Structure 1
Amino acid sequence: MALASHKQANEENEIIISLPKESGLGAGPYLHLFQDFWCPTNSVEGVNKFQKHFDAKDNDVFVASFPKSGTTWLKALTFAIVNHQQFSSFDNHPLLSSNPHELVPFPEFMYSHDLHDQILSLSNKSEPRLLSTHLPFPSLPQSITKSNCKIIYICRNPFDTFVSVWEFFNKIKPVSSPEFIFEEAFEKYCNGIMGFGPWWSHMLGYWKESITRRNKVLFLKYEDLKEDTVFHVKRIAEFLDSPITQGGESNTVIEHIIKLCRFEKMKDLEVNKSGCILNGVEKKNFFRKGEIGDWINYFSPSMIEKLSKIIEEKLGGSGLSFKVHS
């Protein structure tokens, strides 16, 4: 057993060594170009195992996202919808005592640890299993893409995404990671060099799937969810065939779910103010501002022009666009 484990570790190291690497925005000193996306060093092993060993079930639900695009909020909303029959009391709800990332785990991060234990843990998870991923669509395990499980994807205006990424990784980066000034980090982002990037191909992969397979992928924008939360939470519930969309009390239930998952409420919960999760990241770092348009306080005119051109170049003609709030 120890020999097999040692052999596997050597294989993982060989994969990492063989990949192109760059310093970039991620949870570690380097990012590796793995299957056409930039994967943090400490995630390559977990991603590889996730692809090889994850066995999707038809009733699985995945929350997929590009990092710092509203993941935590969407996890909370989706958890409350999926588990409403089990946890119908909003006064004693798991979201009041657990961080959304604990309730909706990332298998690619879990698989970086003991594989057997994590496979067992996921197979014993109550159904429907609610899980999450930062992987681009083409790199998802085939068992996910070929099954009937559902994916809810969220992305965000690329301007605000960069600011959120910059602030987040500055707080969590290890001492061994390179120091980037804002302008250097922006150049990396414009070149797509950040964890799970390029951001444009990440968005487009799920966008195209949401058009061709509407029953498989629901595509959301953070800005839309903020501006008309009731409408889009109903969309999520309908996409998941949730019973809360039927009956006279559906609006009341949805209002309660929205209130339970409000950014300010979650940020103020004791459980989200202290302690760590996801390989030592402090829970409080997942709650910064949750605002739309904060990027205007960071960007110079030349940066605005440059990123606007990249958005037009990469997303033009796809039908995917973003309103710029300033």
Structure 2
Amino acid sequence: MALSRMEVKCDGTERIPVDYVKGILQPTPTCDSWDQIWDFQARPDDLLICTYPKAGTTWTQEIVDLIQNDGDVDRTQRAPTHVRFPFIEWIIPSMGSGLEQANAMPSPRTLKTHLPFQLLPPSFLEKNCQIIYVARNPKDNLVSYYHFHRMNKALPDPGTWEEYFESFLTGKVCWGSWHDHVKGWWEARDQHRILYLFYEDLKMNPKHEIRKLGEFIGKKLDDSVLDKIVHHTSFDVMKQNPMANYSAVPAEIMDHSVSPFMRKGAVGDWKNHFTVAQNERFDEDYQRRMAGTSLAFHFQF
């Protein structure tokens, strides 16, 4: 366990150490509270937004909040994303616990997790909660997660691009293997109340996908409200929204001068990072790891 309980540092700044929960790498505050997280008590009217990290989580949260509030932008300005949506397994000593935040929140709650399906607290399934899962193509997901690691001191230092590429490929990153994550939730989608969406579909046809989200949540939205939500959840508008761009998080945790939290939000940016050799190796590994699944991704438009 090379990464276990290790203080990882970047440019002299201490990072939160990491360890394993059932084979999945996590920050140690999460590991230390795992029993309480596993025993988390969901409520039947909870809505859970789940993604692999950097797969459109904040975007989906903002869309869902606007749907729930019938497009009322002022209502979504009530607090930053991380306050509106408790992140159930996330604990930063200086900022508090997502678990405690969730437990203190009145119903109906909209919650967030990055947990793979096998680590989801069982009460979500027992209570038949609605779950929205969003998947993003792995090449863009890797690039976005790499830059997020660079700016987020609550995660391990990613090392060089070449080093992080290897870590991602082998699943030795927080929340584990991308391949296992997207496949696990894909396989579970028909047995539970899971709406499985794709980041690239949201980019290509946001109005269609937002309507689908509204129907899943039980909200029928007219065209004018849909258009308003599409506008306010566009990348350029959200990037300037202090309640959605994570600028409210202290700079000692998220340093936007290293890389902004909302960086590009594009499909196909991986082509600016992958070498030819890396792309060939990634494709070969992808074909092997994704064999036998009906999951398919757009890697560019």
Question: Please, what TM-score do these two structures have when normalized by structure 2?
Answer: 0.86
Q: 1:211 to 1:318 in 2, by over 3 A?
A: farther
For residues 160 and 267 of structure 1, what CA distance do their matches in structure 2 show?
Answer: 18
CA distance, structure 2, for counterparts of residue 29 and residue 273 of structure 1: 19
Shift in alpha-carbon separation, 1:182–1:201, aligned structure 2, 3 A: same
TM-superposed deviation, 1:279: 8.7
Matched, 1:158 2:158: no
Report the CA distance between 1:307 and its aligned residue: 1.0
Once the two structures are superposed, residues 1-60 of structure 1 have per-residue CA deviations (whole angstroms, 9 ceiling, x without a partner) of: xxxxxxxxxxxxxxxx9x966899xx94654232232222232124432112x2111110
Contact 2:65–2:76 under 8 Å retained in 1: no
Q: Determine the structure 2 residue equivalent to 1:107.
A: 88
In the alignment, which residue of structure 2 is the partner of 1:35?
22
The runs of 5 or more residues in structure 2 that have no matched partner are 9-13
How far apart are residue 177 of structure 1 and its match? Answer: 5.2
Distance 1:170 1:145 in 2: 34
Cα–Cα, structure 1 residues 23 and 307, in superposed 2: closer, same or farther, change >3 Å? farther
Segment of structure 1 superposing worse, 250-259 or 219-228: 250-259
Cα 1:287–1:280, aligned 2, differ >3 Å: closer, same or farther? same
Code of the residue aligned with 1:39 in structure 2: it is Q
2:239 equivalent to 1:267: yes
TM-score normalised by length of structure 1: 0.80
- 2:90 counterpart SS class: helix
From the CA coordinates, give the structure whose radius of gyration is larger. Answer: 1
Q: Give the C-alpha shift of residue 212 in structure 1.
A: 3.2
Gaps of 5+ in 1: 1-16
Specify the alignment match of 1:132 in structure 2.
112
Instruction: State the match for 1:14 in structure 2.
Output: none
Mapped partners of 1:292, 1:232: distance in 2:
16
Q: Which residue of 2 aligns with 1:181?
A: 160
Q: 1:43 to 1:118 in 2, by over 3 A?
A: closer
Whether 2:84 is the aligned partner of 1:89: answer: no
Maintained 8 Å contact 1:47/1:111: no
| Aligned position for 2:124 | 144
Tell me which residue corresponds to 1:322. 297
Give the letter aligned to residue 194 of structure 2: V
The equivalent of 1:240 in structure 2 is: 217
1: CA distance, partners of 2:157 / 2:66 = 39
Distance 1:21 1:157, change over 3 A: farther
Question: How far apart in 2 are the matches of 1:143 and 1:42?
Answer: 22
Say whether 1:305 aligns with 2:280: yes
Q: Which amino acid aligns with 1:199?
A: W
Contact 2:153 2:253 in 1 (8 A): no
Identity of aligned residues (%): 28
1:210 aligns with 2:189: yes
Check whether the contact 1:31–1:194 (CA below 8 A) recurs between aligned residues.
no
Query: Once superposed, what is the RMSD of the aligned Cα atoms?
Result: 3.1
Equivalent residue number for residue 32 of structure 2: 45
Whole-angstrom CA distance in 1 between matches of 2:85 and 2:64: 9
- SS of the equivalent of 2:89 reads helix
Checking the alignment, whether the CA contact within 8 Å between 1:28 and 1:41 is kept in structure 2 is no
Distance 1:20 1:179 in 2: 15
Cα separation, partners in 2 of 1:128 and 1:196, compared to 1, 3 Å = same
Deviations 1:229-250 (A, max 9, x none): 11111111111122x34xxxx1
Match of residue 71 from structure 1:
57
Shift of 1:276: 1.0
Q: Summarize the Cα distance change of 1:192–1:22 in structure 2 as closer, same or farther, 3 Å threshold.
A: farther
What is the alpha-carbon distance in structure 2 between the residues aligned to residue 278 and residue 109 of structure 1?
18
Letter paired with 2:51: S
Q: Kindly indicate whether the alpha-carbon contact (under 8 Å) linking 1:67 and 1:165 is maintained by their aligned counterparts in 2.
A: yes
CA contact (8 A) 2:48 2:113 kept: yes
Are the equivalent residues in 2 in contact too, given 1:80–1:257 (CA < 8 A)? Answer: yes
Structure-1 residue corresponding to 2:66: 80
The aligned amino acid for 1:292 is: V
Whichever structure has more helix as a proportion of its residues is 1
- Residues 141-183 of structure 1 show CA distances to partners (whole Å, capped at 9, x for unaligned) of 1111211211101111100011111111112237x95561111
